[in-house]
Amino acid sequence: PRVIVGMGTCGIAAGAKKVWEAISQEIRRQNLDVEVRQTGCLGMCHREVLVEVRIPGQPKVIYGNISPESVKRIVQEHLVEGRIVKDLVVGMEAEKGTLLEGMPLLEENPFWSKQLRLVTRNCGIIDPDSIDDYLKAGGYQSLRRVLAEYTPEEVIAEVKNSGLRGRGGGGFPTGIKWESTRNAVGDRKYVICNADEGDPGAFMDRSILEGDPHAVIEGMIIAAYAVGARDGYIYIRAEYPLAVHRLMRAIDQARERNFLGDNILGSGFNFHLYIKQGAGAFVCGEETALIASIEGNRGMPRPRPPFPATKGLWDRPTNINNVETYANIPVIFRIGASEFASIGTEQSKGTKVFAVTGKVKKTGLVEVPMGITLREIIFDICGGIKDDKKFKAVQIGGPSGGCLPEQHLDLPVDYDSLISAGAMMGSGGLVVLDENTCMVELARYFLQFTRNESCGKCTPCREGLKRLLEILNRIVNGKGEKGDLDRLITLGSVIINTSLCGLGQSAPNPVLSTIRYFRSEYEMHIEKKF
């Protein structure tokens, strides 16, 4: 028998370490032959601490909201007496009919049934510190197949056929990006993983790295083989210590098993992978600033072109993708490009991982097929609005994204639909807002964030965001003037059109989208009716 404790950052924040100690102690005290293991985030952050009990031949049972005090009941009633602790059960995985009456089945729980877990398939299931767990789950099979059966050009063709687009926000076709780096002239080439996730409310990449680090490493090795790179870097913020720790261990293990290093699996292909920890500047998520930071320079963007594919790290051709994009690669080579391309919509293939936070009943990490509606994510999967208040809007795409009101709840979630509605996919943060949220204050919050994070290199962003914030501050403080809304719109458009990098080019989006959909709230502030 096994007891598995959810030890992602979310679980640990909810007290998983104490639960782990209490379980280990109780098992020792009772002298039981039970293994205690850890896993990453299962996605149900709202039910942490999660504990799973697996007894051979019996249904897998997941318990939620576990405290050190409730541990004794699980050990005594479930492990010793063989009775499921009904009032603590989140769900069970079993055939219908084999369960006690009234027990919730995992597959019938809408939190699970509407998800399609491809990228996060191992998160919350395997021990992320164990390469053997990853191998047992089919890990590194895609790499083996690629090295044995594919030329680099065939790898790129397969990724192109899959329709995979970058999951970091831009949505650029991954295969075309790889092809540009492959075709670029250079004596050395690099691959970089952008793990500098910094949007408020976003934790998709952290959860993937904490729950299944080998999947990202495997994706990077395949990318390196395709583009012809010998070295790779994972650029990760130092505020993610658990993810850094698990990545370091995973890289060591992969090296020991010859998935990294020289002559990988006897193929003649060499690839070395390093971690570079960033200091947490939001702008370092922009690829040219990220490259500058790895080079030891101040993390500031530079104009593009030249693009990193031709002139990147140390002026060499460089392929940059984010964590989730790389984690999709082993999936593509396991299920095949055509099956992957059959998931999602015409222009947006596969799945997307979202971090759902805010005024929603079930916060957490969800992975859904592209094309699902916002309503399905917020109401079916995440249970609707907390305390049964009214839905007001959803902020999608982080500080670069926009706020969508109720009339867009049935919008399919794909790159192009979101842009046409004035928002963007971004990296996958979804902040749900209820009727009590002041949209002007919300816009101000995001603008404060981008103003603080502006690197100051170009005038429209450095000065323009300050002026935008001044106007918003006076509106919020009841000192708004006639004409302020027009000033916000004009200045916001100038900043978007003239800033150097994506930070400035998208920072006014929360302001402009809230004016577009909640103009009356601004007007009421200005007319001092609030």
Nearer to ligand SF4, 465 or 526 (CB): 465
Tokens 């039910």 belong to: 47
Task: Let me know: does 60 contact 52? Beta carbons within 8 Å.
Answer: yes
Applying CB under 6 A, among 504, 511, 521, 522 the residue interacting with ligand SF4 is 504
Complex with ligand SF4: residue 282 or 340, whichever CB lies closer: 282
**How many other C-beta atoms are found inside a 10 Å radius of the C-beta of residue 525?**
23
Cβ neighbours of 316 (radius 10 Å)? 19
Contact call for residue 301 and ligand SF4 (CB under 6 A): yes
Segments in 85-187 forming alpha helices (H): 110-113, 131-136, 141-149, 152-162, 174-183
- Name the region of 371 (left: φ>0; alpha: ψ -120 to 50; beta: rest): left
If binding is defined by CB under 6 A, does position 461 make contact with ligand SF4?
A: yes
For ligand SF4, the closer of residues 52 and 453 by Cβ is 453
| Short-list 278, 352, 303, CA closest to 505 | 303
Residue with tokens 């149900």: 44
Instruction: Report residue 101 CA to chain centroid gap.
Output: 37
Shortest gap between Cβ of 516 and ligand SF4 (angstroms)?
22
Nearer to ligand SF4, 284 or 404 (CB): 284
| DSSP annotation of 411 | -
Based on the shown chain and the rule CB under 6 A, indicate whether residue 492 belongs to the binding site for ligand SF4: no
38 Cβ contact list (under 8 Å, min separation 6) = 4, 5, 6, 7, 20, 127, 128, 129
Asked whether 44 and 211 are in contact (CB, 8 A), the reply is: no
Residue 325 lies near ligand SF4 (rule: CB under 6 A): no
Among 455, 468, 491, 511, binds ligand SF4 (CB under 6 A): 455
Which string of x and - marks every residue 401-440 that binds ligand SF4 (by CB under 6 A)? ----------------------------------------
Residues 6+ apart with CB under 8 A from 522: 440, 475, 480, 484, 485, 514, 515
**What minimum distance in Å lies between the beta carbon of 361 and ligand SF4?**
36
In the complex, minimum distance from the CB of residue 205 to ligand SF4, in angstroms, rounded to a whole number = 20
User: What is the CA 387 to chain-centroid distance, rounded?
Assistant: 27
Nearest CB to ligand SF4, comparing residues 126 and 501:
501
Among 50, 66, 393, 458, binds ligand SF4 (CB under 6 A): 458
Residue 457 CB, nearest approach to ligand SF4 (Å): 4
Please choose, out of 168-176, 203-211, 372-380, 457-465, the segment that lies near ligand SF4 by the rule CB under 6 A: 457-465
Contact between 283 and ligand SF4 per CB under 6 A: yes
* Lookup: tokens for 126: 């395997």
- When asked if residue 500 is in the footprint of ligand SF4 (CB under 6 A), the reply is yes
When asked if residue 503 is in the footprint of ligand SF4 (CB under 6 A), the reply is yes
Question: Closest CB to ligand SF4 among 219 and 508?
Answer: 508
Pairing, β 2-6 against β 51-54: antiparallel
Q: Candidates 389, 462, 467, 516: give the one binding ligand SF4 (CB under 6 A).
A: 462
Q: Please provide the distance, in angstroms rounded to a whole number, between the alpha carbons at the two ends of the chain.
A: 60
Question: What's the closest the beta carbon of residue 289 comes to ligand SF4, in angstroms?
Answer: 8
> Is residue 1 packed enough to be buried (19+ CB in 10 Å), middle (13-18) or exposed (0-12)?
middle
- Which one of 33-41, 329-337, 379-387, 449-457 is the stretch in contact with ligand SF4 (CB under 6 A)? 449-457
Amino acid identity for residue 255 in this structure = R
499 binds ligand SF4 (CB under 6 A): yes
The correct pick among 501, 511, 512, 526 for binding ligand SF4 (CB under 6 A) is: 501
Please report, as ranges, the residues that interact with ligand SF4 according to CB under 6 A: 283, 301, 454-458, 461-462, 499-501, 503-504
